[in-house]
Amino acid sequence: MSADFLQRCCQIAGADYVLTAAADCAPYLTDWRGRFTGRALAVLRPADPAQVAQLVRACADARIALVPQGGRTGLVLGSVPDASGAAVVLSLSRMRRIRALDTVNRTITVDAGCVLHDIQQAAADQGCLFPLSLAAEGSCTIGGNLSTNAGGTAVLRYGNARELCLGLEVVTPHGEVWSGLRGLRKDNTGYDLRDLFIGAEGTLGVITGAVLKLFPQPKGAITALVALASPRDALALLNLMQDHCGASLTGFELMSDFCLRLVATHFPHLPTPFVKRHPQYVLLEVSSSESERHAVNLIEQALEQAVERDLADDAVLATSNAQSRALWHLREHIPLAQAAAGKNIKHDISLPVSSIADFIDSTDATLQQQFPACQVVCFGHLGDGNLHYNVAPPDGQPHDQFLANQDAINRIVHDGVDACNGSISAEHGIGALKRDDLVRYKSKVELDMMRAIKAALDPLGIMNPGKVL
């Protein structure tokens, strides 16, 4: 059966794009963090949606599972196959076409395999802004971004991937193409199928194309790094900045002192903005549709009030694009510094913004009680309630030995999140890594509805099996 199936795939996509040799398949089988390597019957690399549809139909006919894959930058084992070797990987890496850019409708229509940075650049070339931005933007693809409902650093102003998408093209588990690439901001004609597939992590269908919102390029932007005493002060600063700047506040990132010390250790070429260390830092950005001077005035006036109210201990304002990028590099290099330091236990959580300080205080204390001297690497998108709350071993303890505590640490963190009515996944998804945790924190009613949708759309269970549910 597998020989006949692979022959059919070769007829559809071309023999050069049906990979079966171990060396050829290897780059598609290991997760981004290098923690897990799966096996696959083959890696299929279609050129267009028609080929995707034919390949999915071939999988359905042969009852062979498939794992849709974009840039493979996910952190929850959502885009790599399991160890059985029974599934195929469906890589969209050849599908990188910018199909259309409409400056009047302010939309861009793209293949799902387009790299995020390329979409940003195509928009910029036409004087527009596509605001989705995250550390992996040089390699992640928009199909993966939509499949996990990615967030990034500009959610506070522009929303997450779901809010930036107007329409989708999807290949169903039956191998049919649904084209919803209409670019409409209003369409009240039944169920919202677009939102069903966004965030589904490839378990309901394969996203092959998307219509995305574009925005005007800001006339000016200013970045500042603010030093302060606590997450509670950071929340007060957030309120002040929102009251003063409104929608002009486009970024508000929290970083602990330990985060920046990690960056300084592993990337000493990056700037150290303050001579004195402070417990917490906020990286914030204000943009203006009027002028750079307007943005500067907004941020200076707001920070003056912050200092007067004892919310900010110190602040550094970027005076050039280069300085702004240097400050953002500090934030963007935190995950890289963590990787350089060794293995750690990652959490991508979402909380009501008002609960964040209490959560950090309580969870930090509980972890120290049960795992003395463990090191919390806490940073994230404070403006939208999304924290990356990671736990590293004490100095000197072998990382693999510490990882044996992963289940217990996950339980502490996730129970704390649940107590605050939060979510155990803000923007990374569930994948295979958090599947069992989902059962603990989702209600039976929610899970039953999710399973009913999965069974209705994918009755053969071939779409990314073992992920989410």
Give ranges for CATH 3.30.43.10 in the chain: 2-91
- Does residue 1 have a pLDDT over 60? no
**For residue 387, what pLDDT is reported?**
96
What SS3 class is residue 136? coil
Tell me the CA distances in angstroms from 198 to 192, 193, 227, 405, one per residue in order. Answer: 11, 9, 37, 33
Percent above pLDDT 90 for the chain: 93
Task: Please say whether the beta carbons of 48 and 186 come within 8 A.
Answer: no
Give ranges for CATH 3.30.70.2740 in the chain: 342-444
- Does residue 459 have a pLDDT over 80? yes
- Does residue 98 have a pLDDT over 70? yes
- CATH for the 342-444 domain, from 3.30.70.2740, 1.20.900.10, 3.40.50.2020, 1.10.3720.10: 3.30.70.2740
- Does residue 100 have a pLDDT over 80? yes
**For residue 447, what pLDDT is reported?**
97
Give ranges for CATH 3.30.465.10 in the chain: 98-216
Residues making up the chain, counted from first to last: 469
**For residue 61, what pLDDT is reported?**
97
**For residue 373, what pLDDT is reported?**
96
CATH class held by domain 2-91: alpha beta
Mean pLDDT of the 364-381 span? 96
**For residue 135, what pLDDT is reported?**
85
**For residue 417, what pLDDT is reported?**
98
Mean pLDDT of the 48-64 span? 98
**For residue 320, what pLDDT is reported?**
85
Mean pLDDT of the 292-298 span? 90
Mean pLDDT of the 433-456 span? 96
Mean pLDDT of the 261-275 span? 93
Mean pLDDT of the 125-143 span? 95
**For residue 308, what pLDDT is reported?**
92
Q: Beta strand 88-91 with 66-69: parallel, antiparallel or unpaired?
A: parallel
Q: Place 297 in a pLDDT band, splitting at 50, 70 and 90.
A: very high
> What fold is seen in the domain 220-264+276-328?
Alpha-Beta Plaits (3.30.70)
- Summarised one tens digit per residue, pLDDT across range 382-429 is 999 999 999 999 999 998 899 999 999 999 999 999 999 999 999 999
Task: Please say whether the beta carbons of 175 and 54 come within 8 A.
Answer: yes
**For residue 84, what pLDDT is reported?**
95
**For residue 469, what pLDDT is reported?**
93
Q: Place 280 in a pLDDT band, splitting at 50, 70 and 90.
A: very high
**DSSP line for 408-455:** HHHHHHHHHHHHTT-BSBSSS--TTTTHHHHHHHS-HHHHHHHHHHHH
**DSSP line for 59-104:** HHHHT--EEEESS---SSS-SS--TT--SEEEE-TT---EEEEETT
> What fold is seen in the domain 98-216?
3.30.465
- Does residue 301 have a pLDDT over 90? yes
